[in-house]
Structure 1
Amino acid sequence: MAIVHKSKFADVDIPSVPITEFVLRRADELADRQAIEEVGSGRGYTFGALKQAIHALAGGLQAKGIGPGKTVAIMAPNLPEYAIVFHGVAVAGGTNTTINPTYTADEVRHQLQDSEAELLVTIGMFVETAQAAVEGTSVTEIVTMDGAEGTTPLTSLFGDPIEQVEIDPMEHVVVLPYSSGTTGLPKGVMLTHHNLVANIAQCEPVITYGDDEVAIAALPFFHIYGMQVLMNGLLANGVRVITMPRFDLQQALEAIQEQKVTRFFAVPPMVLAFAKHPLVAEYDLSSLRQVFSGAAPLGAELAEEAAARIGTEVVQGYGMSELSPVSHATPAGEYKPGTSGVTVPNTECRIVDADGEDQDVGGRGELWVRGPQVMKGYLNNDEATRSTIDEDGWLHTGDVAELDEDGHFSIVDRVKELIKFKGFQVPPAELEALLVSHPAIADAAVIGIPDEEAGELPKAFVVVAPGQELTEDDVKAFVAGKVANYKQLRLVEFIEEIPKSASGKILRRFLRDGQE
């Protein structure tokens, strides 16, 4: 029998409007206020100028033939112009696909071919990759935000402003982010205008903003977390956004101190830096009201260590590209270390174990989610869509979750990443959180190594903090005193750094590949 866990929040009203209209809903009221600017230089746009630029670019794109059924690829770091291109395409009725600029030409080409993009927008730094990647694709032109030689400068595309091209928000796919491809090639996630609008509206009662807020956007806009929670979500709430092309701890600390930043959105490696890096002590971070971590599990000890050091709450949320992305977040003042928060409004959850049995409070199983933020499906991949979203509309996340008596969910690990040791399931994330709580360990990752007798053996890869010394036995003994016998580390290897994706997820496949 299904046990459905509903949000404790009342349902919110989700307007049936295009995403840009929703994101710019306060643009006229806040016309003279700075909306988005580049870290360091301060170059940017007021809300009024941002709105004008978006509609002018939409006009220029329309004149180029970009509209419904056409896709524009954006392969760029976080810059103010990212928002202009994204929303210019949306207003013109087109579809965006957002590409990781650190991809190789082959990886970029896969996404360009799969999404059938006709225009690629990038910056000079990535033109060489772009030119190699577009061969054999539908891309007819490379546009650069900084007007690099041999490309079309973005400024030349601005035309006469147009109003939003008519689209059906429920059906029209406005963006195709690509899922991280932990299994197989990355898949295009079809998100509609309604998906994006719904998720921003759903987060409002949970993540609330004052009227004078400033946030650093160091998480990439090409990734759903940066795109929706930062770029779109912050602008929709009138927050001033400071874009960082890549995360640099010192630059971030300087910006927090000088610009009186109130919000910092992080992934666990950034929280790790806040907790352990000596630089942090040199800056005044008292303006921070909250650090919000997502994209990968954050250990309770690490969250508490960082919170104590920077003097503000460090909270967690949960989501995935296929959920536009948020299904769980932590209301201010309600953080329970190690949890990912409560279910956002208009959302239902189930926890289903390996035997197909629904679990209540305290039970573990795969998290299933249903709500207006669930994607339309995977592009050109009905089979993957059907295996992810069932006939009743439940999205099977692939993550193992547990619910407590207060309605807070904890993400234990990926179903696929659980280590199977003698029939027991060992969650790598739990061991990783434990390892980084050791003062001499800067970072860590755990994977299962195939073993004839046990099935898999838990193996830790450990990065030792500068100036510290550790032996394999030290690491094993530290863990041994804190977890059950079946979770003990059987192997330890010391490495220089843990391979991670741009969103901070551990790339376990690279660690596994080195074991063969």
Structure 2
Amino acid sequence: MVLASPYPDVEIPDVSVPEFVLAAGRDRPDAPALIDGLKGDTITHGQLAAYVDRVAAALHEKGLRKGDVVAVFCPNTPWYPVVFHGIAAAGCVMSPINSLYTPEEIAFQLRDSGAKMLITISLFMDRAGAAVEKSPVDEIVVLDGMEGHANLLDLLGSQAPSPQVDIDPANDLVTLPYSSGTTGLPKGVMLSHRNLVANVAQTRPLIALQSEERIIAVLPFFHIYGLTVLMNQGLAWGGTVVTLPRFDLEDFLRTIQDHKITRAFVAPPILVALAKHPLVDQYDLSSLTSILSGAAPLDESLALAVEQRLRKGADTGVTVAQGYGMTELSPVSHTTPDEGLEPPGVTGEVPKGSVGYAIPNTECRLVDPATGEDAAAGDRGELWIRGPQVMKGYLNNAEATAATIDPEGWLHTGDVAVVDENGCYTVVDRVKELIKYKGYQVAPAELEAVLLNHPEIVDAAVIGVPEKETGEELPKAYVVRAPGSELSEESVMDFMAGRVAPHKKIRLVEFIDAVPKSAAGKILRKDLKARN
């Protein structure tokens, strides 16, 4: 059965992402659009539009044209949105690279995406340079300057005319983030201008962001959650986005206090700190009105603990809730509405364990994974989603695309959910193999491939196992040692630590005689999970 959103459809403007997102700032050119949370440096909405135009002109001057891919390997700064929108306004495609990636992981993304340019910072040039040696690009731009490379001032100082690019929002790509999807190795997720414009427009009826609000942007812009929900949503409604380059609890708390942050979009590990760390009591967080969690499941008791703690001494309470999405959904499909923005005819709070309602223009189905039939009313089923936020597909991977989006346009999320009589969804399980560690995706197949490069490992399998105190999923390796090997757990973890990004590290190791597999050779992960 098709379950429509309880909200009326909204109009999706037929414009490019920069046209849509930067429009609100035209009425408030002198208002702050972006602030560096540590340094205080500010870019106004008027300056943002002007800088975006110059970056687009500079890229065209360098020979980049519509459809060319520009990879961005940077932490959050006020200049990240300038670069993103400049790339988009030039008709190019921005492929964001995880700041924690190793040279091998960066090189894979450069090669797979076909990137022609890499934009980075000097602090990352050791890894960026090593990656480009393996997968060359035409040019590296180092934003904060490095001898032999163009920098940010070179881009902003371009005297070239503003590029005139004919963008087809429904078909032209604007960004190419990499995701493991429901399973397997990282794949380029093709997101169009319409995908991103739609997702910001779709969330508007549920999240009443105002122009005077300040959003803390600590979740990385290289993640689609940060890119769409924090960066583009905040700018599109004329608000102020306050950036932090990484999560440091003291910096995070001080920024909320000093910049009077009103909204925080976070992942569950940040909420753990807000609930438990003694440092929280030393800062005035009373400006906060809303904390929305995403990227990983939020425990109900954790949400309530944060609400209770932050209410102390505040005139009004802060609401802690969660939403749901994935990179392939640009990323939002469900979220918890602000108070007063509940669907027509629905009263009462959304249960804390819920991900809220399907956003406008979004259809859902709950399907029994075993039978492929729609689940009976009240029963759990795999969540399928259809709407304008669904990706165009995976880059150069028709097989993976077909396995994720069926011929009727339904995206199979791999997550199991239930829905109540009000249309409120709760995610209860996972069909897919993907591990979620601190909000990051970890693909077992990728880690297994690295493990098998060890000369003393003859077979291996990786699963996520829950950590008892936090419920966080930890990557655990089941390893079959070569005959005569005395390989230790520590040596396996050390081997992996030198070859993958920190969030992909193996946290637990167990040695076994054989990896359980089906007759077709597929790893029986359910058998491994049963051992824990």
TM range (shorter): 0.7 to 0.9
Letter in 2 for 1:378: Y
Quick one: structure 1 residues 133 and 102, their matched pair in 2 at CA, closer, same or farther if it must change by over 3 Å? same
Letter in 2 for 1:165: V
Task: Report runs of 4+ in structure 1 exceeding 4 Å deviation.
Answer: 428-432, 446-450, 511-516
Q: Is 1:396 matched up with 2:412?
A: yes
CA distance, structure 2, for counterparts of residue 197 and residue 513 of structure 1:
44
Quick one: structure 1 residues 418 and 116, their matched pair in 2 at CA, closer, same or farther if it must change by over 3 Å? closer
Deviation at residue 388 of structure 1 after TM alignment: 0.3
CA distance, structure 2, for counterparts of residue 104 and residue 244 of structure 1:
22
Aligned counterpart, 2:516: none
User: Which one of 85, 94, 98 corresponds to residue 96 of structure 2?
Assistant: 98
**Secondary structure of the equivalent of 1:130?**
helix
Letter in 2 for 1:118: K
Aligned counterpart, 1:332: 338
User: Which one of 307, 326, 332 corresponds to residue 320 of structure 1?
Assistant: 326
Per-residue displacement from partner, 1:78-129 (whole Å, max 9, x unpaired)?
Answer: 0111111111111111111000121000000000001110110001110011
Q: Is 1:89 matched up with 2:87?
A: yes
CA distance, structure 1, for counterparts of residue 40 and residue 510 of structure 2:
43
Q: Is 1:34 matched up with 2:49?
A: no
**Secondary structure of the equivalent of 1:188?**
strand
Retained in 1: the 8 A contact 2:180–2:434?
A: no
Retained in 2: the 8 A contact 1:361–1:405?
A: no
Quick one: structure 1 residues 191 and 442, their matched pair in 2 at CA, closer, same or farther if it must change by over 3 Å? closer
**Secondary structure of the equivalent of 2:389?**
coil
Q: Is 1:253 matched up with 2:253?
A: yes
Aligned counterpart, 2:193: 193
* Alignment gaps of 5+ in structure 2: 312-317, 340-348, 436-462, 479-492, 513-532
User: Which one of 340, 345, 357 corresponds to residue 360 of structure 2?
Assistant: 345
Aligned residues: 448
CA distance, structure 1, for counterparts of residue 376 and residue 52 of structure 2:
47
Q: Is 1:405 matched up with 2:421?
A: yes
Aligned counterpart, 2:244: 244
Per-residue displacement from partner, 1:221-245 (whole Å, max 9, x unpaired)?
Answer: 0000000001111100111011100
CA distance, structure 1, for counterparts of residue 310 and residue 233 of structure 2:
25
Q: Is 1:362 matched up with 2:378?
A: yes
Letter in 2 for 1:330: T
CA distance, structure 2, for counterparts of residue 413 and residue 170 of structure 1:
33
> TM-score by structure 2 length?
0.80
CA distance, structure 2, for counterparts of residue 180 and residue 77 of structure 1:
21
Retained in 1: the 8 A contact 2:465–2:473?
A: no
Aligned counterpart, 1:16: 14
Quick one: structure 1 residues 515 and 358, their matched pair in 2 at CA, closer, same or farther if it must change by over 3 Å? farther
Retained in 1: the 8 A contact 2:60–2:163?
A: no
Quick one: structure 1 residues 16 and 131, their matched pair in 2 at CA, closer, same or farther if it must change by over 3 Å? same
CA distance, structure 1, for counterparts of residue 251 and residue 329 of structure 2:
31
CA distance, structure 2, for counterparts of residue 515 and residue 55 of structure 1:
56
Retained in 1: the 8 A contact 2:266–2:294?
A: yes
Retained in 2: the 8 A contact 1:206–1:330?
A: yes
Deviation at residue 417 of structure 1 after TM alignment: 4.6
Per-residue displacement from partner, 1:54-98 (whole Å, max 9, x unpaired)?
Answer: 001111110111121211000000011111111111111111100
Aligned counterpart, 1:414: 430
Aligned counterpart, 1:465: none
Aligned counterpart, 1:281: 281
Kindly report the root-mean-square deviation, in angstroms, between the aligned alpha carbons of the 2 structures: 2.5
Aligned residues with identical type, % of pairs: 51
Retained in 2: the 8 A contact 1:39–1:242?
A: yes
Aligned counterpart, 2:447: none
CA distance, structure 1, for counterparts of residue 22 and residue 387 of structure 2:
24
Per-residue displacement from partner, 1:455-478 (whole Å, max 9, x unpaired)?
Answer: xxxxxxxxxxxxxxxxxxxxxxxx
Letter in 1 for 2:172: H
Deviation at residue 429 of structure 1 after TM alignment: 10
